[in-house]
Amino acid sequence: MSAYGTTRQPPTAGSGPKDKTTDYHTALFRRLAWEGTVPIEIRVDPKELPANSDRGLECYYLQAPRVTYLPLLLPEIRRFLMDVVFDEAAASSLKEEDWWFETEEGTVMKWHWPIGLIYDTHTISRFVRNPTAYAASSSTATPLRLILHLASPPVEKLLLAPSQEACKQAFMGQIKEADFIRWGSTKRVTGLRKNEQDGIWEGIKDHNFDDYWRVASKVTPSASPGSSLSAQSSGHTRPGTDIGTAIDRDGAYSVRSIPARIYLPDGPVLQEFVSPLLEDGTPNTLGKFLSAHLSLLFPPRPPAPPPSRSNPNPQPPSVQELAYAMVQGVITPPESEMAWLGVCLAGADGWLNICIGINKV
């Protein structure tokens, strides 16, 4: 698992306007998240292989985009199985609506979760269950090994059918919910024309960054800070921000709340209201957010002792790091601002998915 910071650098001398610099950095991180992929191994359950199948080729490997969904991978998997594994008679009797996936440990895969989120939660859970056999710091990505079942889907666990249309409806529902959490209404999404709503889903299907963001930019806040982030409130001047500039009412720091979910290893999914700013007007950070809601795993850092003659610049005492936060497959620094994460590293459905891992003590 890789890690990189989220610091926005100030524009260099002679560069373009400040808003152009911010737009460049925003697009850069959005594209990095979009282009992320995960390795997947698909193996048909040997007990369900039709007669006359080639049992030496029942595994299929692919590098799937993090933003896609399992139903969107089914046509590619089906083509492989029909061309290489199944004979013609077996192929005609199989029904794709009966297919479903589970992990080697028996966890049923959810159709409406993005592939990247499935991979991150599975990777963290495996490490928690067996830390000695599964090193979280490994530089080599381990494939997500899924077992494909061809019959008897557990409908009560899958929640929706494996069709692309059902996945699209669930995806659009998530976008509308995220829109409501940000602004208190869904006007930005419902105000899109029919071809625009279809286009945002087609961008996911075709894995086309430009087509997706051509529409998504109309409902997603900009990353530019507002005037509330002044030197008086934050204690320093933010890169690329003029003190006293007008508030960007469509910006990430002006939303009512940030759509965010916390995924605990083998545990519940927590959905919390996340204000972009604290009561004192300073940006809310990932570390402060996690300390407020998961204080046992992320204990608040004690303040620095008062300066003295022997130690004029005291530092806060260190705190043992019991856990870490992962966003889009990246171990994310605690000083990352929640508003920035919400517009640059959120999922394609608008939700900031924070996966919590446990450090090996």
| Same-domain pairing of 298 and 188 | no
| Same-domain pairing of 259 and 353 | yes
Q: Is the pLDDT of residue 18 over 50?
A: no
Return the sign of the alpha-carbon dihedral for residues 142, 148, 152, 157.
positive
Beta bridge partners of 42: 60, 146
Q: Is residue 310 included in any domain, yes or no?
A: no
Domain total in the chain: 3
Report which DSSP code applies to 48: G
| Same-domain pairing of 97 and 148 | yes
Beta strands in the chain (DSSP E): 37-44, 59-65, 100-103, 144-149, 260-263, 269-272, 323-327, 330-331, 352-358
Point out the least confidently predicted range of 22-36, 120-134, 255-269. 120-134
Provide the CATH number for the domain around residue 132: 3.10.20.620
Q: Answer yes or no: are the C-beta atoms of 16 and 51 closer than 8 Å.
A: no
Provide the CATH number for the domain around residue 200: 1.10.246.190
pLDDT tens readout for residues 146-177: 999 988 888 888 878 888 999 999 999 999 99
Q: Answer yes or no: are the C-beta atoms of 36 and 65 closer than 8 Å.
A: yes
What is the extent of the structural domain holding 336? 251-303+320-358
Q: Is residue 11 included in any domain, yes or no?
A: no
> Can you tell me the mean pLDDT for 220-233?
59
Q: Is residue 238 included in any domain, yes or no?
A: no
Q: Is residue 236 included in any domain, yes or no?
A: no
pLDDT at 241: 40
Q: Answer yes or no: are the C-beta atoms of 197 and 224 closer than 8 Å.
A: no
Q: Is residue 146 included in any domain, yes or no?
A: yes
Residues 6+ apart with CB under 8 A from 150: 44, 45, 48, 50, 94, 98, 99
| Same-domain pairing of 56 and 76 | yes
| Same-domain pairing of 285 and 333 | yes
| Same-domain pairing of 109 and 84 | yes
Confidence of residue 13 (pLDDT cuts 50, 70, 90): very low
HSE at residue 11, side-chain half, CA atoms within 13 A, is 15
Q: Is residue 21 included in any domain, yes or no?
A: no
Q: Is residue 135 included in any domain, yes or no?
A: yes
pLDDT tens readout for residues 163-219: 899 999 999 999 999 999 999 999 999 999 999 999 999 999 999 999 999 999 999
Q: Is residue 311 included in any domain, yes or no?
A: no
| Same-domain pairing of 148 and 187 | no
Looking at per-residue pLDDT, the higher value among 99 and 235 belongs to 99
